[in-house]
């Protein structure tokens, strides 16, 4: 009988140890799981420069250049077959400009992220991109034409994006 009790006690001890190890490993695994990551980008350049890729994430690619008047030209492209792109820009005069393409795909043209803005091209915007595969990228950005950054004759595009 005494041997049976000690075997039960040993069994209970082993089960307890396994439970503690599982809890510790589960917690460590959760701590190392990758959650959303925020990254930043910026572009500062002068007129008639080469197009520069600001970032590429989950099939969304955004590039920028400065036009001959040092105004930013910003476009989004995708490598996805089926995606959505939705957002808006508010320019320095308070006007709202919508960005909407629910047929955004690799075969289409790029989408302007600085649409129909005239005059002083300082503005900020948000953008959300989604693919049929469930990839989502959220972007917050701003841009300005020359003069900017304390009188510099450059155009600038800057912001951040969040990916999982």
Q: Do the Cβ atoms of 129 and 76 come closer than 8 Å?
A: yes
Would you state the pLDDT for residue 81?
Answer: 96
Confidence of residue 33 (pLDDT cuts 50, 70, 90): low
Give the C-alpha distances (Å, rounded to integers) separating 146 from 44, 50, 84, 154.
10, 17, 32, 5
Q: Is the pTM of this model over 0.85?
A: no
Q: Does residue 20 surpass a pLDDT of 60?
A: no
Give the C-alpha distances (Å, rounded to integers) separating 38 from 29, 89, 93, 140.
21, 20, 29, 11
Would you state the pLDDT for residue 80?
Answer: 97
| Percent of the chain whose predicted confidence (pLDDT) is above 90 | 70
| Sheet strands (E) in 58-163 | 60-66, 72-78, 83-91, 96-104, 111-112, 123-131, 136-144, 155-163
Would you state the pLDDT for residue 48?
Answer: 77
Would you state the pLDDT for residue 28?
Answer: 45
Higher-confidence residue of 33 and 152: namely 152
Lowest mean pLDDT among 32-36, 57-61, 74-78, 99-103: 32-36
Give the HSE-up count for residue 85: Cα atoms under 13 Å, Cβ half-sphere.
29
């Amino acid at each position: 009988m005494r041997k049976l009790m000690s075997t039960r006690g040993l069994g209970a001890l082993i089960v307890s140890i396994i439970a503690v190890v599982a809890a510790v490993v589960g917690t460590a695994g959760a701590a190392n799981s990758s959650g959303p990551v925020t990254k930043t980008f910026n572009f500062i350049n002068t007129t008639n420069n080469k197009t520069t890729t600001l970032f590429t994430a989950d099939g969304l690619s955004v590039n920028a250049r400065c036009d001959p008047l040092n105004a930013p030209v910003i476009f989004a492209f995708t490598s996805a077959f089926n995606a959505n792109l939705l957002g808006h820009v508010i320019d320095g005069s308070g006007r709202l400009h919508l960005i909407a393409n629910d047929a955004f795909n690799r075969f289409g043209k790029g989408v302007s992220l600085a649409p129909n803005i005239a005059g002083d091209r300082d503005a900020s915007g948000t953008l959300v991109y989604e693919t049929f595969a469930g990839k989502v990228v959220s972007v917050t950005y701003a841009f300005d034409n020359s003069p900017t950054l304390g009188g510099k004759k450059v155009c600038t595009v800057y912001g951040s994006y969040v990916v999982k």
